[in-house]
Every structure is written in structure tokens, then in C-alpha cells.
């Protein structure tokens, strides 16, 4: 199958924002490769379902996640962002998630302070053996985001 490279615009406004009646939330999940991504795989092999709105981005360690990634996701239309890593003490790189824990605690506290609904952000420790926890966490989180509705605030918090 050959495709011509023609007018493949990637403008962000290609998809209109869904109206609130048929709102389906967009959730970005950053998962560390060694525990949580494996946990998500295990949820898969166990056929434990969770909403399709959850999109996973793989990172080597939760400590790779720069706060700008999370902000960027909200900026580009995510309604909730969850960061999942190994349990404290079990990090593949020994100490990565300890740094994550501090960074995210402080960042999320700040977002809350700025009036962004704090329920839209979450950190969860999910091991490679916790497929069920992965699925239930995602279900729970999606439900919460659903009840919150579309996230507009970060986009509106502009300084121009």
C-alpha cells in the first residue's frame, strides 16, 4: 500500500472538542517500564478491562517524567494525567521514584493551589504483579475524571 504525502496536517484543532453530553475524558498515563507498564501488560493478559480513554506512554522510570510533560498533556487537551511507578523502595534504578514522589507531590500541590482540580492529577505505585490494581486504578480514575468533565482550566490560565 503506497500513500502519497499530501496534506497531512497535524494541527491540534483537527478534532473538535466534544460537547459535554457525549464527553469522553482523555487520560494520559505515564508508566514506568519496569513495574507499571508491566502491570498494564498483566492487566491485558488477564483481560481486565478499563476505559479506552486511558492512553499509556512508556517511560523508563517514573523519575523520567518532567513536570512539563504533564502540563503539556493538559495543555493539549488531556482531562486527567496519572503517573504510575514502582512502589517506593522497589525502583529498578533504586531511587528514581523517591524523586518522583517529591516532584509530583509538590507539583500537584501547586496545581491545586492555582485552582486546577487536584483530582485530575494522580500518582499511583503499581508493581509488575499488580495487573488488577492497574485496571481498578484506571477505572476509578476515569470515573472521577468523567464526573469532573472537560479540563479547561490549565488552558485558560494564560498570561498573554
Partner 1 sequence: MNRIGVFVCHCGSNIAAAVDVKQVAEALGREQNVVFSAEYQYMCSENGQKLIKNAVKENALTGIVVCSCSPRMHEATFRKTASEAGINPYMVEIANIREQCSWVHKDITAATSKAIILGRAAIAKVRFNEPLTVGESGVTKRALVIGGGIAGIQTALDIADAGYKVDIVEKKPTIGGKMAQLDKTFPTLDCAACILTPKMVEAARHENIKLYTYSEVEEVKGYVGNFSVKIRKKARYVRENLCSGCGACALKCPSRNSGNEFNTGLDKRGAIYIPFAQAIPNIPVIDAEHCIKFRTGKCGLCQMNCAAQAIDFSQKDEIIEEKYGAIVAATGFDIINLDKFGEYGYKTYPDVVTSLEFERIMNAAGPTKGHLERPSDGRQPKTLVFVQCVGSRDTSGRGKEYCSKICCMYTAKHAMLTREKYPDTDVYVFYIDVRAPGKNFDEFYRRAAEQYGVHYIKGMVGKIYDDGNGNLMVRGSDIIANEQLTIKADMVILAAAAKPDDSARSLGTMLTASMDTNDFFTEAHPKLRPVESPTAGVFLSGFCQGPKDIPETVAQAGAAAVKVIGLLSKDRLKSNPCVARSDSLICSGCSNCEKVCPFGAITYADARVNDGTGMETRRVAVVNEAVCHGCGACAAACPSGAMDLMGFTSKQIFAEVDAVCR
Partner 2 sequence: MRIESDIILGKVKRLVSDGKADRVFAWKKGNFCYDTEPSLFTDNYVGFTYDDFCAANLCKFMINESKKDGKTLVLIKPCDSKGLALLEKEHRINRERIYALGVPCAGKIDMDKIRENGVKGVIGIEEEKENVSCNGDENLIIKTLYGDKIIPKKSVLYDKCLSCTDKEHVGCDEVFMPELSEDTYDGKKFEGVKKIENMPSDERFSFWRSQLSKCIRCNACRNVCPVCSCVKCIFDNDNSGIASKANSDDFEENLYHIIRAFHVCGRCVDCGECSRVCPEKIPLHLLNRKYIKDIKELYGYEKEPALLTFTKSDAEPSVIYERGEKNV
Query: Which parts of this chain interact with partner 2 (CB under 8 A)?
Result: 67-68, 71-72, 75, 88-89, 95, 98-99, 101-119, 122-123, 144, 147-148, 153-160
Minimum distance from residue 3 beta carbon to partner 2 (Å): 27
Is residue 135 a contact residue for partner 1 (CB under 8 A)? Answer: yes
Please list, in sequence order, all residues whose beta carbon lies within 8 angstroms of the beta carbon of residue 21, skipping any fewer than 6 positions away: none
Q: Quick one: which of 16, 20, 22, 45 contacts partner 1 (CB under 8 A)?
A: 45
Among residues 10, 9, 34, 53, the alpha carbon closest in space to that of 144 is found at 53
Q: Tell me if 153 sits within 8 A of 69, measured CB to CB.
A: no
- Which residue number, 56 or 104, has a Cβ lying nearer to partner 2? 104
Is residue 153 a contact residue for partner 1 (CB under 8 A)? Answer: no
Residue 86 half-sphere exposure toward CB, CA atoms < 13 A: 21
Amino acid at each position: 500500500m503506497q500513500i502519497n504525502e499530501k496534506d497531512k496536517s497535524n494541527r491540534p484543532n483537527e478534532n473538535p472538542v466534544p460537547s459535554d453530553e457525549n464527553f469522553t475524558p482523555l487520560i494520559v498515563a505515564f508508566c514506568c517500564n519496569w513495574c507499571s507498564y508491566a502491570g498494564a501488560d498483566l492487566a491485558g493478559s488477564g483481560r481486565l478491562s478499563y476505559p479506552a480513554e486511558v492512553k499509556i506512554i512508556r517511560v523508563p522510570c517514573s523519575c523520567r517524567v518532567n513536570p512539563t510533560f504533564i502540563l503539556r498533556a493538559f495543555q493539549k487537551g488531556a482531562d486527567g494525567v496519572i503517573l504510575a511507578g514502582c512502589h517506593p523502595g522497589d525502583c529498578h534504578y533504586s531511587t528514581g521514584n523517591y524523586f518522583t514522589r517529591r516532584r509530583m507531590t509538590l507539583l500537584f500541590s501547586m496545581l491545586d493551589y492555582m485552582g486546577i482540580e487536584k483530582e485530575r492529577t494522580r500518582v499511583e505505585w503499581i508493581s509488575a504483579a499488580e495487573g488488577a490494581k492497574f485496571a481498578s486504578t484506571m477505572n476509578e480514575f476515569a470515573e472521577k475524571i468523567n464526573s469532573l468533565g472537560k479540563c479547561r482550566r490549565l488552558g485558560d490560565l494564560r498570561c498573554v
